[in-house]
Structure 1
């Protein structure tokens, strides 16, 4: 046989898109998790789905142009978004965006001129923990929990190195209730972690206490650093709320690490220190306190894009494995709790059946394509 010693193996690339409440971000990322180019655009007051999809597409195209990578070498696109992702690509339950059953996967595929099998949509907190598993604080860890503390609060969970999404993909740890009859939350409930510890909640709490309007969370932190006792009290309350959330996650999941990400968490080690202190005060006496496993995210400023790209890479790899190995089962990078149950694990069901479920959502999207979706 002949061995091509000088054969060049071409690197494949991914696009990671990160949709936030105020900005859209896009990056071109190689298979090793290195960011080649990055683009960000403000959303402004645009919350119409079509406008946001267009902005995301611009971020993708500009990042590809800046990277110098050919579109033929892009193997997949991942999109991290607020809200629950159901039916293989619909976004619903996003209180901050007001979306309900938006067919984001197929809209992004159309906007970029790609086959929809190359596009993967996932919750933004799930994207964040994908990034931490890949290149961050959870790399080489068996299990992890993550809280994203931004405009809202998201939660990502990983067990056995795989991201868990729940039976109906509606795991929302940011909406665990930490205060009975507490603050009103955008989800419609009261007392959620998000209503007490998000950037929005911190700014709102300070405004209610002082009557000073139009201040941002960052400005509240600045005032606290300058000796404003009211701002310090607001931040202490938020840190205590986060600590309760972390302790709940630790006692429920017993993870290797609990990761804090997002704008609130990155205000410095001072906030992390407060969270750890309050978590330690909540310790039980029958078992050791594990407050020291609470850490800051380490995947960097491109966490959302990295995680979305990683999820796309894993999904495409899984699909290729299923296609190449036919009936041989492959372990997915994301799974739901229902897969733990024997009734869902028994038998030799065809693994390719899971990939055929896109047909129904696609038909739904095609029927809605000419409608104004919100």
Structure 2
């Protein structure tokens, strides 16, 4: 019995099909195009979910989204990257697919996937940090993800690392996301070089190949991210940092500068191990599939 999963991001909607044997049977990726408006994004999500569900004959679905979510009501309270406020996502998807639907936060779902099956399996206290269109963190303690009050934990990207800096879509200024997110590094590189359409992955390759501007942009982003992570390490004392999203997908070599920058900032704190996510930029999608599988098993046992 298959389950389907969707991770809705500001740039892409990632989908997958998980078989009852735990093997991924299918995967897809669609452009989100949030500039079309919140209702259009929701319509695309429904269409993508229906396509996967029909193709796989799914018995349950999981969907995870960024921002502040209410797991209990199944609503996206605030997903700025998607233009969603108070959107009852789970209800809409369940009505459209006519199967049970699990709902959650994209980064916390990623933390769940890495805890059960990925880089965090051997750790009892780790932070999963996703660096992509947005930047979020999930604290995993004894295999359980801590959601915080009203589902608002882990908004690492909205720590202010440059007071009075660039405006952020959250309403603040100088947030980490304005410096270290994938769109931020791409926009900064474009402003400095006039090159258009250079994504974060390509930027990393250019930096490694000796592009001095790309290297400077990456260094600025890494330093900002290290500053935010130093705060997180001080608060949570994790023994491991699992880095996901596009940065984690770039591999261990790309994480070495981050590891060094973080180590320079820590004094009395223990330096955690830093590893790339086992599922790369698809940890959230895999987590959504696990949530769907849990829901299906609960229904079967009832």
Q: Same fold (TM over 0.5)?
A: yes
Correspondence for 1:30: 19
Distance 1:258 1:125 in 2: 13
- Give the C-alpha shift of residue 214 in structure 1: 4.3
How big is the shift at 1:229? 1.2
| Partners of 2:241 and 2:50 in 1: CA distance | 35
Query: What is the match of residue 211 of structure 2?
Result: 228
* 1:62 CA drift (Å): 3.5
Secondary structure of residue in 2 paired with 1:271? helix
TM superposition shift of 1:301? 5.4
Give distance in 2, aligned partners of 1:319 and 1:247. Answer: 42
For the pair shown, which has the larger CA radius of gyration, 1 or 2?
1
In structure 2, C-alpha distance between the alignment counterparts of 1:125 and 1:278, rounded to whole Å = 23
- Partners of 1:88 and 1:45 in 2: CA distance: 23
Alignment of 1:213-224 (within 5 A): 213-224=196-207
Q: Matched residue of 2:149: which SS?
A: coil
Per the alignment, do residues 46 and 194 of structure 1 end up closer, same or farther by CA in structure 2, a change over 3 Å counting?
Answer: closer
Write the distance in 1 (CA, Å) between the matches of 2:158 and 2:233: 16
Whole-Å separation in 2 of the counterparts to 1:318 and 1:166: 24
Q: Which residue matches 1:168?
A: 150
Does residue 179 (structure 1) correspond to residue 167 (structure 2)? The answer is no
1:1-374 matches, cutoff 5 A = 12-44=1-33, 47-67=36-56, 70-71=57-58, 74=59, 76-86=60-70, 88-114=73-99, 118-171=100-153, 172-284=155-267, 286-287=268-269, 289-291=270-272, 293-300=273-280, 302-315=282-295
Of 220-229 and 89-98, deviating more is 220-229
Tell me if the contact between 1:134 and 1:310 (Cα under 8 Å) persists in the aligned partners: no
Gaps of 5+ in 1: 1-11, 325-374
2:49 match: secondary structure: helix
Q: Deviations over 1:103-134 (max 9, x none)?
A: 111111121123xxx21221111121111112
Conserved 8 A contact 2:203-2:214: yes
Q: Which has the higher strand share?
A: 2
Gaps of 5+ in 2: none
Paired residue total: 300
What do the CA deviations read for 1:205-261 (whole angstroms, capped 9, x no partner)?
Answer: 223334544433233323323322121111011111222222222221112311111
Taking a change above 3 Å as real, the CA distance of residues 26 and 142 of structure 1, as seen in their structure-2 partners, is: same
1:109-163 deviation per Cα after TM superposition (whole angstroms, max 9, x unaligned)? 121123xxx2122111112111111211112421221111111112212122111
For the residue of structure 1 that corresponds to 2:86, the secondary structure is coil
For the residue of structure 2 that corresponds to 1:33, the secondary structure is coil
- Tell me the TM-score normalised to structure 1 length: 0.73
Q: 2:215 & 2:125 partners in 1: Cα distance? A: 33
Q: CA deviation at 1:101?
A: 0.5
Q: Shift in Å at residue 81 of structure 1?
A: 0.9
The root-mean-square deviation of aligned C-alpha atoms, in Å, is 2.4
